[in-house]
Structure 1
Amino acid sequence: MTTAPRVALFATCFNDTMWPEAPRATVALLERLGCTVEFPRAQTCCGQMFTNTGYAEEAAPLVRSFVDVFSSYEYVVAPSGSCVGSIREQHPMLARRAGDRGLEAEVETTAKKVYELSEFIVDVLGVTDVGAYFPHRVTYHPTCHSLRMLHVGDRPLRLLREVRGIDLVDLPNATECCGFGGTFAVKNADTSIAMGADKARHVRETGAEVLVAGDNSCLAHIGGVLGRQRSGVRTLHLAQILASTEEDPA
């Protein structure tokens, strides 16, 4: 990039409420890479929770809100493959269901500007070495939406491999779902816990100190299992590791 891109941070509602460290790290990282980052205060939920549980009509106003808040920006970046997947895949469907052709056109234009964090850094900024330092043994879990909906591929790993001091180890059966799946974990708790236990076992097999992923929802699920097992493995969002320099993120 020859000029500093103007970026809107879509923090996502669950990060804003429960894991604000991830959007804060995203801002620090993008500003370090030369971006001008703004946080539109009118932003709210993308509507994924409603859509996934069958409340498409209730989700439609959130699609309109997202377009109204973010359509004027050059780029929109979110530290969540899940929410970006919802915007790209579900928003067009919700606009069609609402029968609003004007909204359909606006969604199509706006969705093209929305990027998951690793996509934006690698594809738009053209960077893999972000100047991070994190001297710990780390393993990476590719979340389902980032892997299967967004097809981020190895972008997060390419970024992690350039982090100074890191000992990055492969996660066995990495592409298997962790079992969270939003309301799936509530409606199918036994299955969800069993899947989470499998994932936690694979994490422990790596000997990693830290489990990293691009979605805090999945990290909360796996981290909950690891915590109950007293494994000593902590979880961090990808943004927190990439934003780290000399100081270890809390």
Structure 2
Amino acid sequence: MNAPRTFVPQATRTAEPDAAPRTYPEHKPERIYLFGTCVVDLFFPEAGMDAIRLLEREGIQVVFPQAQSCCGQPAYTSGYTDQAREVARAQLALFDQDWPVVVPSGSCAGMFRHHYQELFAGEPDTLARARAVAERTYELAEFLLHVCRVELHDQGPPTEVALHTSCSARREMHTHHHGRALLDQLSGVRRVDHDHESECCGFGGTFCVRMPDISGAMVADKTRSLRDSGATRVVSADAGCLMNINGALKKQRAPLQGQHLASFLWQRTGGQP
């Protein structure tokens, strides 16, 4: 294993926004790839299934390459660039058709869209493939909002929801705009603002393992803000953050719990809880 470069938690990495406003296709594609992410696969499988249901309801065939694994972000943010590159190379090989790649995680989508190009800067052929995949990678909420142009019809009872947006996904993929827009389509949902929405929950992948005291203090601030907001549910499009926030809330014996945005949208618009 190669020696790591200097460790920089993803929560503190410099933003790398799109150079210009993104241009979205005029029509929905017939097929897409779903990159499910390892955290969704292991801890929130219902969110992956609900993402598929939302996309299929839009008339899109969802292709899920069975060999997919991690996007390589944990190794990359921990400084193990060579290992991250090999993981990324294996993922790129799975998306050989010119179909959009939809990811139910803003941080993993950001890894595809931005950091794969950094990883393969010295390999022209692979860099070209990474750029092509980056151009057709979408975070799930972004894809539903701007490509599918969904019009959601709320079928649930009145409720108050607090939105959490992953800090890296917020900077790199602008997921706070997409999540807010989708929730605001739901007539029975009142989105409650809280004063720590833009702040990191303390997860940061391996950051929470390397710096547990700092991570614990951050999630304590986050959950305090969520509990004080008066919301009855927390919604997020990033499963890693949900795992951290839900774990802290459970330890606090708080009734409030978080749910992935895909599952929340599916349930509110006709799916079964």
- Change over 3 Å in CA distance of 1:248–1:172 after alignment to 2: farther
Any residues of structure 2 matched to 1:153-164 within 5 Å, and which?
A: 153-164=176-187
**3-state DSSP of counterpart to 2:65:** coil
Q: Could you tell me the percent identity over the aligned residues?
A: 39
TM-score (norm 1): 0.93
Among 113, 128, 132, the residue aligned to 1:88: 113
Q: Which residue does 1:116 correspond to in 2?
A: 139
Distance 1:247 1:88, change over 3 A: closer
Conserved? CA contact 1:15–1:23, under 8 Å: yes
Structure 2, gaps ≥5 residues long: 1-25
* Higher deviation after alignment, 138-147 or 164-173: 164-173
Residue 265 of structure 2 corresponds to 242
Structure 1 residues 36, 158: closer, same or farther in 2, change over 3 A? same
1:139 Cα offset (Å)? 0.8
Q: Give structure 1 stretches of 5+ with no counterpart.
A: none
Q: How far off is 1:46 after superposition?
A: 1.0
Match of 1:201 in 2: 224
> Of 190, 207, 211, which residue of structure 2 is paired with 1:188?
211
2:32 paired residue number: 7
User: What CA distance in whole angstroms lies between the structure 2 residues aligned with 1:145 and 1:153?
Assistant: 11
Pair 1:130-2:152 in alignment: yes
Residue 112 of structure 2 aligns with an amino acid whose one-letter code is I
Residues 166 and 107 of structure 1: is their aligned pair in 2 closer, same or farther, counting only changes over 3 Å?
same
Give deviations 1:100-158, integer Å, cap 9, x for gaps.
Answer: 2100111111111111011111121223x233434332110111122111123411111
Does the 8 A contact of 2:112 with 2:134 survive in 1?
A: yes
Give the conservation status (yes or no) of the 8 Å contact 2:28–2:147. Answer: no
Aligned to 1:145: 168
| Contact 2:28 2:148 survives alignment (8 Å) | no
Q: Residues 228 and 36 (structure 1 numbering): CA distance in 2 closer, same or farther, change over 3 Å?
A: same
Equivalents in 2 of 1:134, 1:147: separation in Å? 27
* Match runs of 1:210-225 below 5 Å: 210-225=233-248
1:170 corresponds to 2:193? yes
User: Does residue 35 of the first structure (1) align with residue 60 of the second (2)?
Assistant: yes
Distance of 2:195 and 2:58 partners within structure 1: 32
2:27 and 2:216 map into 1 onto residues whose CA distance is 48
Q: 1:164 to 1:56 in 2, by over 3 A?
A: same
Amino acid at match of 1:92: Q
2:142 matched to 1:100?
Answer: no
Structure 1 SS opposite 2:132: helix
Report the number of matched residues. 246
